[in-house]
Structure 1
Amino acid sequence: MEATEGCGPVPGNAQDAAVVWRNRALRLMDHVPLPIAVVEFGGRTLIVNRAMAAEFGLLPGQFRDRKILEFFTLRDSDTLQALAEAVRLHRRSQYPARVSWQPAHGGERYGVMTVDLVADTPEQTPNLLLSLRSVEAAGEEPPPGPRVEVSPVEARILAAAARGATTAQIAREIGLTADGVNYHLARLSRRWRVPNRTALVARAYATGVLAAGTWPPEPT
């Protein structure tokens, strides 16, 4: 069988054909204007398209193997429980989750991340197909909630910083890269308009993110 242009037949065995079709799918995904990502169930990023990477001023390859929650704050805590239950029961439904993130330019943004569970067989642990929609882009109001709200990961980072842990120590404790820790600290600094880590910790106590009167520091 000879190869043809476009989406026609491909030469070689089934493995060769699978690689060709995968590359075609990746090229197609890169031309979709909707931000899209594919991550493992544990959160490790496998693929993002250009639209998703552009939200953070990065290249798609810079997302590889990083945790998706290094970039987004999940504002619906029930979503993770729903996903775990869906995997246990072999369900394959869509799950919307409210998220916020700090884009490369501008202030904090809000949106809805639609999560699809995808796998070749029901028995496999699925990957997550994520598609992002910004609510401000549609002229909607940002989701309700206090401006001091932080994600569980951010709260743990702040507690570790309050103990005097270094970036490398925080990264090992939380399970992020050093770049991931610095990303969260920089995002919090911009959100709270403070100049350094000391001011971040002070703001975390002042707003009740960290529990007062406890040592070692703990999130509330």
Structure 2
Amino acid sequence: MDCGERRSDNSADGLPATHSPVPDSAAAVFWRNRATGLFDRIPLPAAFCKADGTILRANPALAAEWGRLAGSLRGCSALELFHPEARDQLRSIAEAIRLHRRSRYPMAVRWTTAGGVERRGEVSVDLVDDTSIDEPNLLVIVHVVEEEPIGPSATVDDTEARILALTAGGATAAQIASAVGLTADGVNYHLKQLSRRWGVSGKAALVARAYVEGILAPDVWPPVPVHNPYRTVR
């Protein structure tokens, strides 16, 4: 899916646009930047969207599900990423949005990660910035209710393998982020997902498991991933 060309003009930074004619003060800029930083650190996949589902801003946790950078999802349609289990839920949510009803609207969805793993969860849709007569913007948060399988059958994609190799070599999250094209939060999200998937705690255990599973090449320094023709390469 190539949706990087579509861009929203709602705001410069992808957050829901305000409708006040008064220019931003220094305090307003400070709090908007603070809110942006907090949004990017939410551990749950989340995005601000237009009423039609067009993504204005995605956080690293959401982008990591598809092995993407958060900025590359701007302009994509959330409906292209998630597949509702009941299409009639979309009609109910669309009607509620049209009427500017401020309440949470859950929707069961499925999607496929960058590693080819089928996932299931619940998307909650909250109205934000509904002071305009136009359609309001939405805050979409994904709650995963079915995790990836735990055990030796769990696979890793190319990005995860590189993160594991760099972790094994002692690189910091910032250094890994620079090497693989993610943010530090995105790297930490991948490490947390691997820890949850494999049922281990801590970087040392993750690295040990990676060697046991044959993901990292033995007797090689600095650590490198083993070539795996079945691994998802982006």
CA deviations 1:177-214 (Å, max 9, x no partner) are xxxxxxxxxxxxxxxxxxxxxxxxxxxxxxxxxxxxxx
What is the aligned partner in structure 2 of residue 17 from structure 1?
27
State which of 81, 87, 93 in structure 2 corresponds to 1:83: 93
State which of 16, 28, 31 in structure 1 corresponds to 2:41: 31
Q: Distance between the aligned counterparts of 2:26 and 2:104, measured in 1?
A: 31
What is the aligned partner in structure 1 of residue 78 from structure 2?
68
**One-letter code of the match for 1:90?**
H
CA deviations 1:38-95 (Å, max 9, x no partner) are 1101121101111111111111001011111221112221222112221333211111
Q: Is the 8 A contact 1:40 1:128 kept in 2?
A: yes
Q: For structure 1, list consecutive stretches of 5 or more residues without a partner in the other structure.
A: 1-12, 140-220
Correspondences of 1:31-70 after superposition (within 5 Å): 31-70=41-80
CA deviations 1:105-126 (Å, max 9, x no partner) are 2421111001111124163411
Q: Distance between the aligned counterparts of 1:94 and 1:136, measured in 2?
A: 21
Q: Is the 8 A contact 1:112 1:132 kept in 2?
A: yes
Q: Is the 8 A contact 1:101 1:109 kept in 2?
A: yes
Q: Is the 8 A contact 1:38 1:128 kept in 2?
A: yes
Q: Distance between the aligned counterparts of 2:130 and 2:83, measured in 1?
A: 29
Higher relative contact order (CA 8 A, sep 6+): 2
**One-letter code of the match for 1:39?**
C
- DSSP-derived class of the 1:14 partner: coil
Query: Aligned pair in 2 of structure 1 residues 14, 98: CA closer, same or farther (>3 Å)?
Result: same
State which of 110, 114, 120 in structure 2 corresponds to 1:104: 114
1:15: Cα distance to partner?
Answer: 4.2
Q: Is the 8 A contact 1:90 1:123 kept in 2?
A: no
Q: Is the 8 A contact 2:123 2:140 kept in 1?
A: yes
**One-letter code of the match for 2:45?**
P
Q: Distance between the aligned counterparts of 1:28 and 1:100, measured in 2?
A: 26
- DSSP-derived class of the 1:42 partner: coil
Length-normalised TM-score, structure 1 = 0.53
Matched, 1:136 2:146: yes
Q: Distance between the aligned counterparts of 1:39 and 1:128, measured in 2?
A: 5
- DSSP-derived class of the 1:128 partner: strand
1:138: Cα distance to partner?
Answer: 10
Q: Distance between the aligned counterparts of 1:128 and 1:51, measured in 2?
A: 17
Q: Distance between the aligned counterparts of 2:130 and 2:143, measured in 1?
A: 26
**One-letter code of the match for 2:27?**
A
Q: Distance between the aligned counterparts of 2:70 and 2:86, measured in 1?
A: 26
Moved over 4 A (4+): none
Q: For structure 2, list consecutive stretches of 5 or more residues without a partner in the other structure.
A: 1-22, 150-234
Q: Is the 8 A contact 1:119 1:125 kept in 2?
A: no
Query: Aligned pair in 2 of structure 1 residues 138, 59: CA closer, same or farther (>3 Å)?
Result: closer
Q: Distance between the aligned counterparts of 2:132 and 2:148, measured in 1?
A: 35
Bigger fraction of residues in helix? 1
| Two-structure CA RMSD over aligned residues (Å) | 2.1
What is the aligned partner in structure 2 of residue 147 from structure 1?
none
Q: Distance between the aligned counterparts of 1:99 and 1:77, measured in 2?
A: 10
